[in-house]
Amino acid sequence: MSHNGRLSLPESEMTWRFSRSSGAGGQHVNTSDTRVELIWSLTSTTALSPDQRQLAAQRLSNRLISGTITVVSSQYRSQHRNREAARVRLEELVSHAIVPPKPRQATRPSRASKQRRIDAKKRRSSLKQGRSSSWE
């Protein structure tokens, strides 16, 4: 964990890909690769314990492609800022995914809620009872 509560992933486990970003930027944008793709393998990381890895895999299953997570950033005009933004987004994504689930607090229905349930059942029952009377 880093100083601000966010998980810190080792730079060595990250793969970067750069491409041209879409959108405004003038002549500069046509020649520079400012769009950043950060690829990180959840299956081969050493930053997480096996339990954390399993929990992250379960919670991030919709984002995983063969065990890797890809984060894209093209919001800034500089590659450096996009790299930083992608890294922050990945670290926040993973740190939220590995928070252990809270144990369920067993509660009992209140007397009033039981009464409301019974009343609703009685109303529904009388409504259906009213339908079954014969038409003469």
Is residue 113 a part of any domain in this protein? no
pLDDT digits (tens, 9 = 90+) for 106-135: 999 999 999 999 999 999 999 998 888 766
Encoding tokens for residue 80?
């450096």
Is residue 19 a part of any domain in this protein? yes
Residue from 15, 19, 45, 44 nearest 32 by CA: 19
- Examine the pLDDT at 27 and tell me if it is beyond 70: no
Is residue 21 a part of any domain in this protein? yes
Residue from 17, 21, 9, 14 nearest 37 by CA: 17
What is the C-alpha to C-alpha distance for residues 45 and 90, in angstroms, rounded to an integer? 13
Is residue 84 a part of any domain in this protein? yes
Share of the chain above pLDDT 90, in %: 19
Is residue 92 a part of any domain in this protein? yes
pLDDT digits (tens, 9 = 90+) for 42-60: 888 778 888 888 888 888 8
Contact assessment for residue 42 and residue 71, using Cβ atoms and an 8 Å cutoff: no
Residue type, position 37, single letter: E
- Examine the pLDDT at 75 and tell me if it is beyond 60: yes
CATH number of the domain that 77 lies in?
Answer: 3.30.160.20
Kindly indicate the confidence band of residue 9, based on its pLDDT and cuts at 50, 70 and 90: confident
Beta bridge partners of 4: none
Q: What are phi and psi of 133, to 5 degrees?
A: -65, 145
> Which range of residues forms the domain containing residue 22?
11-97
Per-residue confidence (pLDDT) for residue 30, from 0 to 100? 61
Per-residue confidence (pLDDT) for residue 63, from 0 to 100? 84
In this prediction, residues 12-35 reach a mean pLDDT of 72
pTM over 0.75: no
Per-residue confidence (pLDDT) for residue 2, from 0 to 100? 45
Total count of domains within the chain:
1
Is residue 28 a part of any domain in this protein? yes
Is residue 130 a part of any domain in this protein? no
Is residue 126 a part of any domain in this protein? no
